[in-house]
Amino acid sequence: MDATFVLYPNMTALDFVGPFEVLASVPVVSARFVAATLDPVKSDNGLVVTPTDTFDSLKSTDIVVVPGSGHWKALLKDSGGVVEWLREVHATTKWTTSVCTGSTLLAEAGLVSKATTHWAAREDLEVRGVEVSTDRVVFDGKVVSGAGVSAGIDMALRLVEAEFGEMVAQAVQVGIEYDPQPPRAYDSIPPEIAQGLKAAFDSRQA
């Protein structure tokens, strides 16, 4: 089973590295990395990843994982071919997934009706006609979305459970020693901290 991770400039590294570690722990899963070209792609914090495939060469896959970016508004204006490729490849997938603001790309492609995302991007999902959930992981048919950044690990574990069963998912979770404690959600922090965080994220979009 192929799991293909979408790469583009300024993506958030943990958005795809977390799900990659989970999915790659399943022996029957082979990882691929797709981008507009085969040139190395740099994440928003400087991690460089080399693609294995291009949007032109890869036309089908079993699983797609779309990471998000802290610069998602600019990406929605010009995705560099990501949105068009997602529309095309989605017809071939068993699972189409996103992490963080990657769900806004799925929404832009018209592939999702209910999803979660990073708290800072909820409005961008809503204006695209998507029912926005604050859950950490959301299943919408064969589309699975994870909330912000670290939620990609939870999303991938839920996906492994759905595809391979609970025992495999538990084995993977213990193998990577992922023992999450109750997360501190955006909606639960003091308003003054939330406002400061929102302002910081909004400033990135300028």
Q: Which residue has the tokens 């991938």?
A: 156
Catalytic residue, chosen from 3, 26, 75, 100, is 100
Closest by CA position to 101, among listed 199, 4, 3, 6: 6
CB atoms within 10 A of CB 199: 9
Q: Do residues 82 and 54 touch, judged by C-beta distance below 8 A?
A: no
Catalytic-residue membership of 100: yes
Closest by CA position to 7, among listed 38, 107, 62: 38
What are the residue numbers of the active site?
100
